[in-house]
């Protein structure tokens, strides 16, 4: 029984170490959920051709590829009615020399983060 508990704990620690998070901050009107592909834009469209919904960001570690972080942002934005996100902040990578997860210490842990504006393109 003790071995099973130890294995369960180690699997949980490994799973939590690779978790990514996504956050949303409302800055405008929220719409009903959008059911379709959310576009990724590099610049804002022309003024008046969209409505800002909010800011969405994602953060993860080296186990989370950029594509996963962007996909999480697209899904979160869609739940607020956005049909596009505009990447305004640079993709950032930070190397932490010491990171503690569940009491274990990792050396040179990489943290990745990206931020975008969630928008609703006008028809």
Res 104: pLDDT = 61
78 — phi, psi (to 5°)?
-65, -35
- What global pTM score does this model have? 0.73
What does the mean pLDDT of the chain come to?
A: 82
At 42, the pLDDT band (50, 70, 90 cuts) reads very high
Q: pLDDT tens for residues 94-120?
A: 666 555 666 665 555 688 889 999 999
Collect all residues with Cβ–Cβ distance below 8 Å to 95 and sequence separation of at least 6: 108, 109, 110, 111
Domain that holds residue 26: 2-121
Number of domains composing the chain: 1
């Amino acid at each position: 029984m003790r071995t099973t508990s130890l294995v369960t704990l180690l699997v949980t620690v490994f799973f939590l170490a690779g978790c990514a998070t996504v956050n949303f901050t409302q800055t405008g009107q929220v719409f009903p959920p959008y059911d379709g592909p959310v576009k990724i834009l590099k610049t804002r469209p022309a003024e008046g051709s969209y409505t800002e919904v909010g800011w969405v960001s994602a953060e993860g570690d080296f186990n989370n590829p950029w594509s996963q972080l962007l996909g999480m942002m697209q899904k979160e934005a869609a739940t607020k009615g956005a049909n596009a996100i505009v990447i305004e902040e640079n993709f950032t990578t930070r190397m932490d020399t010491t990171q503690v997860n569940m009491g274990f210490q990792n050396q040179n842990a990489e943290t990745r983060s990206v931020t975008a504006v969630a928008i609703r393109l006008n028809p």
